[in-house]
Amino acid sequence: MLEVKGVHSYYGKSHILHGVSLELKEGELVCLLGRNGVGKSTTLKSIMGVVRPAAGSVRFRGQELCGKEPYKIARLGLGYVPEDRRIFRSLTVHENLLMGIKSGRQSAEGEAWSVEKVYRLFPRLEERKNNKGGHLSGGEQQMLTVVRTLMGNPRLILVDEPTEGLAPLIVKDVLEMLITVRQSGVTVLMVEQNFNAAIKVADRFYIMSKGAIVFSGNREELMAAEEVRKNYLEV
């Protein structure tokens, strides 16, 4: 579904990504792990076109994304959940969800995401539907920003640090939400620092260090790679 090959990205003259390559198959939940500041968020932004790669290729379902504007990439079926959430704090949960609707798009399995579907799968948001976004807990805000992205019926969502700053019990709720999203037919690429959270939900893993991929493998391979975890992760 997604193929990233040899991507180099810069912020001004600062060389951030050094030939990043990764891939996702349809229906996977893949996690990009690594310490803070190694280029994980820049990888997502480079896929989404928020940062324009200087070299390399990003292909989504066979179509080249490099050089396209972010809104055009979104229309192809990619959704982006930023680290800072960016909910509308003065609007209610229900109004935030309505803001995420993109007309004319159908989900991968044919059933479009709707407010009714969101409330069925995530009843906590229905309970809070009349609450303003700024009055939600951190975990509820994270759930809202993910499902607002789903309202655009993406085939793939890029989720940046979904558990950052959340209490352990709330982390569990957010991870369960991401599992539900994947089970609904949406492919997920998640950036995360929390190894203990990621290992519970992801099918495969990539680890970054200094703007490059230093490991790729499944859960069993990652658990067996003790030196890799010691050298590149905060575990």
Question: What residue ranges do the domains of the chain occupy?
Answer: 24-52+69-232
Radius of gyration of the CA atoms of the chain, in A: 17
pLDDT at position 235, please?
61
- pLDDT at 225 (0 to 100): 94
Q: Does domain 24-52+69-232 have CATH number 3.10.129.10?
A: no
The continuous run of DSSP H or E covering 175 comes out as helix 168-183
Measured between alpha carbons, how far is 21 from 172 in angstroms, rounded to an integer?
30
CA distance linking residue 168 with residue 138, whole number of Å: 12
Please report, as a single letter, which amino acid is at residue 141: Q
Query: What's the mean pLDDT when you consider all of the chain?
Result: 91
Residues of the chain falling short of pLDDT 70 = 103-111, 235
What's at 176, amino acid-wise? E
Q: Please report, for residues 20, 69, 141, the alpha-carbon distance to residue 16 in angstroms, rounded to integers and kept in the order given.
A: 10, 20, 29
Predicted pLDDT at 110 = 55
pTM over 0.85, yes/no:
yes
Amino acid (one-letter) located at 163: T
Distance CA 219, CA 1 (A): 21
